[in-house]
Structure formats: structure tokens, C-alpha cells
Structure 1
Amino acid sequence: MSFEFAHIWFFLLLPLPLIVRWLLPSFKKRRTAMLHPRFEHKSELTGLKAKKAAWVSRRGIFNELIIWLTWALLIGAAAHPQLSGEPEMQVKNSRSFFIAADISFSMDTRDWVINEQRLSRWEAIKFIMAEFIEEREGDRLGLIFFGSNAYLQSPLTTDLNFIKWQLEETDVGMAGQMTGIGNAIGYASELFEKDTIENKVLLLLTDGVDSGSDISPIDAANMAKKDSITIYTLGIGDTKATGSDLDESTLTHIAESTGGQYFAAIDPVELRKAYDALNELEPIEWEEMQYKPTITLYHYPLILALVLALIHQLLLAIIKLSSSLINRNVQ
């Protein structure tokens, strides 16, 4: 944070007392003259005549210093000193972003390696997806998991730590053995209907082919398109590997029909590339806020000015009292 004065033009008032002293006449105060014996006789002898006179009382250097320092502190307080930070950033365009992940038993296949450790597909996805979620600050994220059925793991929220925790708590097989891609898309569309944000995105991850859905994935995608939902599909696994039943053709059709894109992730490296590409396609846009975080400091010079003024008055009172006591003793 940087130090600055919000109203620096107040310092133009610093010479104001000098200007006032120069423009206005001195204050005149009548005082009783001291009587001197044989004053008139001496006046005749010297040829000098009494006349009216006036003088300007002079303050001591210490008094002048305190007064000017108090005035400078008052001006400094009026100039509103503060500590200001950089303008904060806020999300310009937020979106509702559901992640629908396949957790059927095929996702337990241990054919991915991360940091020289062999992991299941789902363990690897959770590891890499946590990084992706951290970069979605500003979006309202939600989690849908599907197998034989689709269910809501987390509603749309801006609490990304909660999303990561819910992701970590989910394991393979919790939604059944089948792969209901159509059910997942249809369920996401129902949830989006209750949301007021216009920009709606669905990321669908699966390693299999639709089996046992109440609605075909193509029909579900057409319904999502009518509701302006953009679907990105991510195929997990290598289609050339033995036992793979990944339906890339259907996933590509689902994505392209809704204005999205299909990504193939045969290993962790390709999955990271897919997430990076998705971040570029659906970027978080920021704009600078007019508001800057500030910490006001005007009360410090104001308090110091009041303390100096009180000390000055206290010293004057002590000096006056001392003079009074001395005069009384002399008499």
C-alpha cells in the first residue's frame, strides 16, 4: 500500500495565517498607563510631550513554533492522509459451470501414472481437476456425478474450496455400474433452468459409452442447446487400448452441436492440456474496480494537533499563574 493525501490542495492554506496577519490591522487593546511622579515637570524640562502610542505584542519563539506546528497538523488532517492499495479486480463476466463426471466402475482402471505413481483414472482426474478448479475463481461451480443415475454432489457455488473437498470425498461406484451420459446432461439442464445467469457451461467427463439412460445423449444435447447451454466433452482413456468402449463420435457430436468442443485425454498430460484449452475457450474475464482499498490516517495528525494545543494552553496557564504569584510576593 502507498501513502497519499486524498485532498492535497488543502496544503495551499498553510500560509493563510501570514496573509491574514498582513492584511488585517493589529488588534488594539487599551491599557492603563503607569503613573510617574512629577511627570509633567520632567516633560517641560526635556521638551518632550506625551502622546498616544501602540505596540504589537510579540510571542516567544516557542509559542510561535507550537502554533504553526498545530496549524500544519490541522491542515494535514484536513488533507486526509491515507494508505491506498491497488484497485481491486472483479469478475467481469461470471458463468454457471457444472462439471459432470463419470464415476462408473470403469473409472477405477489403474492405467494412469502421475509422479511415477500408478493411479486409477478417477484418482488422476481428481488430482488434476483440483488445479483446474482453482483457476475458475469468479465462476459458480457445481458438481454432478453419474453412473447408472446422475446426482448432485454440490450445487452452484463460488466456494471453490468446498467444490474441491466434495470432489475429494467422491469415489468410484457411488452412482452405480452403468454409464448414463444422457441422464447426466438432462439432469444438468434441469439444474440450469433454476439459475439466473445467462452464461451456462457443462463439462462432461466419461470413459465409456452411454448405457441405460432414460434419454439418449444426442436428444439431451439438443435440449441443452435450446436452453443455451454450452457443453464441453472430455473422453478419458485410449480408444486403441484393449477393452475401451469410449464413444468419441457421440461425445464430439454433443459438444459441437451446443457450441462446445471435444477433448481426448488418453493420459494425465493430455488431460492437463485439455483443461488449459478449456480455460482459453472459457476464460475468466476481469475488470478493474473503481474502488481502492484505503486505510484513513487523518485522526493521527488531528489528535497530535489537539495535544499540542492543550500543552500550549497549559503552559500559558502555568506562566500566568507563576507571574501572578511573583507579583503577589513582591507586593
Structure 2
Amino acid sequence: MIWEHPSLLFLLILPVLFAALSYFFGKWRQKKLRAFFSDEMLRRLSNPVWSRGRTARTILLYLGITLLVIGAAGPKIGSEIREISREGVDLIIALDVSRSMQAQDIRPSRLDKAKFEISSLIDRLQGDRVGLILFTNTAFLQCPLTTDYSAFRMYLDLASTDQLPFPGTDFNAPLQLARDTFRSRTRQEQQAAQVLLFISDGEDHSPSIEFTLNQLINDGVFVYTVGIGTQAGAPIPIYNQAGQFTGNHVDRDGREVISRLEPDLLREMAQAGRGVYYEIRRGADRIDGFTAQLVDLERREFATEQFSDYANRYQWPAAAGLLFLLVSFMIPVYKPVKIER
């Protein structure tokens, strides 16, 4: 059993307080009356009490109050299957901003192309909330879930490979942050479908993402991925603070590093997450199909959903409490008095 409003259970002390106050008030009243009247006079002035009736009324009165408090606290027992309507999509876009995203095998660069595609996607959204996560070997919530697309574009424009100056790429970090963001939604906000769009060139240096990915999928999140880059690859340019090209990235041996698209893990993520893997190999490639997937997903999977929840049984104690109170007021507590003539 759980309670809808457990804080109200402290009111269960009320019947005890009422009983104590009634007892002490009765004693005080008797003491005051005896100060002015004899016992015989009090007997003549007072109606004879029907002790059984008074006892029954007292028990039913306090029992009724107790049951009303229990009903107000909302006892939830057992389970019930409820059907709710889903509304809209909550879309989180995880964007790789590691140094390899500066490679120019896709013009003007992988990152610039990804930002262009995201901006085009936002143009086609209609009332769905969207959020932005940037990641390298760590992750940062650049923009929380919002329907303010102008604000989202502002945060998107600020995304750069200098924003998270940590080398390497760890897919676990954005996956965990996306899960935490979805789970932080209010109950009303959870009426929307959960979709993660993961954009990267596929270079992942984390040991394994299986556990984190499965947690996300078990929470009902659909995972779509976009691989951006080419198999031939390209060097990774380096720019100074003024934005001027200073050379290409080299390894410890002084050899130029070539960054290539690594699609295998991205494909596996989409397959496990009941999504679709898209690939951008040329500047003309688009992800227009993803918008259609969002519309179809909402219509197909989230028109309605059934879920099991604790059944609220407040009606039973509330109804019993009201009945006991009603009956208690109907029980006589005084014996009928015969008038002598």
C-alpha cells in the first residue's frame, strides 16, 4: 500500500484529541454544576442518559472521522490498467563536438553540416519540445527541452569544438545525460514520446555503452542515429583563437591524423533503440526522412498507451466514514422522559 497524500495521516491524531477534550470537558462541566446544584437536583434537571446509545454514537463518530482522514490521505492498493493519450514528441539531439567533427570531408565541415541539418529539422517541428546535448568525452545540456525554437537555434549556433575542450569521445556521457533529462520531466510532460537523435562521426573511445544504452531503451526512449563523414576520411584542422588555420592534427609520431566515419556502433545503437540509422557522406545528403519518422512514431506508438498503476481506493474509507458519521447522529443518547401530571 502507498499513499497519495501521506502528509495528511498526521490528522489521525484528531479522534484522540477530540476524545480527550470531550472527557476533560465533561469532567469540568460536572464539577462546575455540582458547585451550584446537588446531585438530586442535577438528576431532576438532566435528561436520563442512555449509556449504550452514547457509547455507540461515540464509537461511530470517532471511527467515521478516522476513516475520512484515511480517505483524504488516498490509500492506493493493488493495481489498475489505465489508458492515456500521448501528446507530441520530446526530442533530445546529442551532437558530437569533438575535434574530429572539424574534418572537412563534408563541406564546410562535419559540425557545420550537422548544425545545418538540425536547424532544418527544427523548421519542420510543430509544437514538439526539443533539447540539445553537446558531448566529447563528457556531456553538457546546452539547451533543455523547450518549444522556444528561437532560443534553441541560439544555443545551436554557439555549439563549437572549443566549447568542451576535452579530447576523445565517450558515448556513455550523452546517453546518461539524455536519460537523466527524460526522467526529470513532470508527470504531465511524460505524456510525450521520448526520442534521442544522436549525431556523430562514430569515433567512440569508451569501453562499452551497452549498459547505458539498455537503460535508456528500457525507459522507452527511441534512439535514432546519424553518421556524418566519409570512409576515406579527412585530416583534422587546427585553428588559433583568431580562427586562422594553423595546420592539421598529428599523432605523437608527427603523422597527420585522418578521421574517418565509423558507422558500425551507430548502426547498432539505432537497431537496439528501435530507430533508424542515417548517413551523411556528402554535402547534399539530408535527413528529411527523420521528420516523417517522428510523425509516424507519434501516430503509431503513442496515440494511446496502457500502463499499470496503483489503484486509488479513497472511495471506500471515505464512504464508510460518511456513513458512520450519519448513523452516529441518528442514534439517541437520552432516554425518553415521562411527564408526570
The CA deviation at 1:228 is 0.4
Which amino acid in 1 is paired with 2:102? D
Question: In the alignment, what sits opposite 2:221?
Answer: 229
1:102 to 96, 101, 111: 96
Conservation of the 8 A alpha-carbon contact between 1:94 and 1:139? yes
Structure 1, 175-184 or 252-261: larger mean CA deviation: 175-184
Question: In the alignment, what sits opposite 1:174?
Answer: 163
1:280 to 292, 297, 311: 292
Conservation of the 8 A alpha-carbon contact between 2:175 and 2:216? yes
Conservation of the 8 A alpha-carbon contact between 2:201 and 2:263? no
Question: In the alignment, what sits opposite 1:190?
Answer: 180
The CA deviation at 1:148 is 1.7
1:220 to 185, 193, 212: 212
1:201 to 190, 195, 213: 195
Conservation of the 8 A alpha-carbon contact between 1:208 and 1:244? no
Q: Secondary structure at the match of 2:154?
A: helix
Q: Secondary structure at the match of 1:277?
A: helix
Q: Secondary structure at the match of 1:268?
A: coil
Greater RCO structure (CA 8 Å; 6+ sep):
2
State how many pairs are aligned.
Answer: 186
The CA deviation at 1:177 is 2.0
TM, length-normalised to structure 1 = 0.53
Structure 1, 163-172 or 119-128: larger mean CA deviation: 119-128
Q: What are the superposed Cα offsets for residues 49-103 of structure 1, whole Å, 9 maximum, x if unpaired? A: xxxxxxxxxxxxxxxxxxxxxxxxxxxxxxxxxxxxxxxxxxx831110000000
2:148 to 159, 166, 179: 159
Aligned equivalents of 2:96, 2:263: Cα separation in 1:
15
Aligned equivalents of 1:266, 1:219: Cα separation in 2:
30
Conservation of the 8 A alpha-carbon contact between 1:109 and 1:121? yes
The CA deviation at 1:146 is 0.1
Which amino acid in 1 is paired with 2:295? P
The CA deviation at 1:245 is 4.1
Question: In the alignment, what sits opposite 1:135?
Answer: 124
Unaligned runs of 5+ in 1: 1-91, 114-118, 287-331
Conservation of the 8 A alpha-carbon contact between 1:96 and 1:197? no
Question: In the alignment, what sits opposite 2:284?
Answer: 269
Conservation of the 8 A alpha-carbon contact between 1:137 and 1:160? no
Q: Secondary structure at the match of 2:224?
A: strand
Which amino acid in 2 is paired with 1:280? A
Question: In the alignment, what sits opposite 1:252?
Answer: 267
Q: What are the superposed Cα offsets for residues 248-301 of structure 1, whole Å, 9 maximum, x if unpaired? A: 12111111111101111112222x1x2x11011112879xxxxxxxxxxxxxxx
Question: In the alignment, what sits opposite 1:120?
Answer: 109
Unaligned runs of 5+ in 2: 1-85, 235-257, 300-341
Aligned equivalents of 1:160, 1:268: Cα separation in 2:
24
Conservation of the 8 A alpha-carbon contact between 1:218 and 1:253? no
Conservation of the 8 A alpha-carbon contact between 2:233 and 2:261? no
Conservation of the 8 A alpha-carbon contact between 2:100 and 2:259? no
Q: Identity over aligned residues, as a percent? A: 30
Question: In the alignment, what sits opposite 1:43?
Answer: none
**Runs in 1 of length 4+ with deviation above 6 angstroms?**
none
Conservation of the 8 A alpha-carbon contact between 2:199 and 2:225? yes
The CA deviation at 1:247 is 2.9
- Rg larger in structure: 1
Pairwise CA RMSD: 2.2
Q: Secondary structure at the match of 1:163?
A: helix
The CA deviation at 1:123 is 1.7
Q: Secondary structure at the match of 2:160?
A: coil
Conservation of the 8 A alpha-carbon contact between 2:103 and 2:259? no
